[in-house]
Chain A
Amino acid sequence: MADISANFLGIKSPNPFWLASAPPTDKKINVLRAYEAGWGGVVWKTLGSQVKNVSSRYSAVDYGGHRVMGFNNIELISDRPLDINLKEITEVVKLFPDRAMIVSLMADNNRAAWHKLIQQCEDAGAMGFELNFGCPHGMTERGMGAAVGQDPQIAKMVVEWVMEKATIPVITKLTPNVHSVVPTGRAAVEGGTNALSLINTIQSVTGINLDTLVPNPYVAGKSVFGGYCGPAVKPIALKMLTTIAQDELTSKVPISGIGGVSTWKDAVEFMLLGSTTVQVCTAAMKHGFRIVEDMCEGLNNWMDEKGYKTINDFIGKSVEKITHWEDLDINYHHIAHINQDKCIHCGLCYIACEDTSHQSINLAYGKPYNTYSIKEEECVGCNLCQLVCPVDGCITMEEHRVAPEYINWKQWQAEGRALNDH
């Protein structure tokens, strides 16, 4: 059995799965249920400024018959009285001292307010803080949330205020609603943050009701941009995570990864790109806290299979595998191959290649079943046919190097070799 426990700047949790700061971590009753289900920790829903929420609050994007491929919300930070939140945090920590209790903060935009809130939360038993510099709606208009995260200088200033006061680890949560997360990440590290977490939600319009013509989510005939999350945002989150994990400065602090994590596989991907822990929200909101069971078991089995004893054995292992385009090996070439024994003759590879790619698949007419085969000399190895094939392992990409030696674009060009020659 592998050891899947996490140690994040001394904050220990029995597994690397934390619930992100969001509705599931708003109350004692939710958090207790989460801990009972087996979650390693929570980031308590953001405490701070006084707010008032609206109804409705969520909307989703469905795809191909699956609900909630993407999810957005326009809910604000915790709308419960601060003293109740603090009292409940104390009670929860007492009941589950082995779990990570991070408290998310978003104080009014002045130093005194931050200092006061930090003191109150530390007194309540918080083990760490996460600074909410990312909330994309409601708070930004008041100079908080993403308004802080989108401006590196302001972010740095607030982090400095926090670091003056905090005696426990501080994580700064980054907003993705920027051209690059690196400048704010660097500013936060320069300001003294102990760790980074990303991504917060992405501003979005999930859809429009075609009867009323009002976009979602609906509030009295109007809508606003909501924060987008769920499986749909995972690839974007992984990209942003990579830029933080590869940056000279930001790579020096631990990272808690967020953005569409639904399964142990997603979590492993975030960890391979540098996350020490991962945070989950949408998947739990769709299925409940019980999903953590398979996350733990799946991670454990995978680690056993691969021979990893602790999560530190594989964290960050894929970071160096993402390179620059100009460093890719131009002599690498692979060609699709269709296994005729597995082929079900659906023609999806053919029509995708014929209409939109390189006309590299041959159709031999049959009634009712056509036979499809690869025109090897035409295939550019783009993967499209393999991606659309509904049968696992039917289309494989087989390596046919153009030449044995590595050569990248820069060398190719320097040598004056042929371009546009396909």
Chain B
Amino acid sequence: MTSAMEIYQLLPKTNCKECGESTCMAFGVALLSGSRKFTECPPLMKEEKYIDSKQKLEEILKPLEGAHETGLIIHDELCSGCGNCVVACPVDVANDPHSSGRGFGPSNDKVIFRVVDGKVKAANIKECRRFGKDKILCRACIDPCPTEAIEFV
């Protein structure tokens, strides 16, 4: 799991402000949230001494490419389609109490999780309790996942 500090260590750490952010740390946090791209750091792209850092940064940021706006990543290769997240997610239960909440497959399109071809897929991500100004650090889909296929970054 990549942290903002790990990303910061690979940035120039000069706080040059060329990217528009006030510090390199702020730019690192923006990279982690997916709102900025590392190619937007001019010194990192121009100067030869940062070549190694640039490569490492590219590697550690690659898994974050598929992340949703809430930072949700589903690792397809680990998912067994058990549907624990479908039933455990409080949003799914609230939006589809008689099907998802009771263990059946979802009966409408308002749910976040749905198993398709043996793998879980996420939709309606703005409904997630980790999204919006009243967000909370909900772990209802992470804890029941036996294969650690769900991650938030």
Q: Please indicate whether A and B come from the same complex rather than being unrelated chains.
A: no
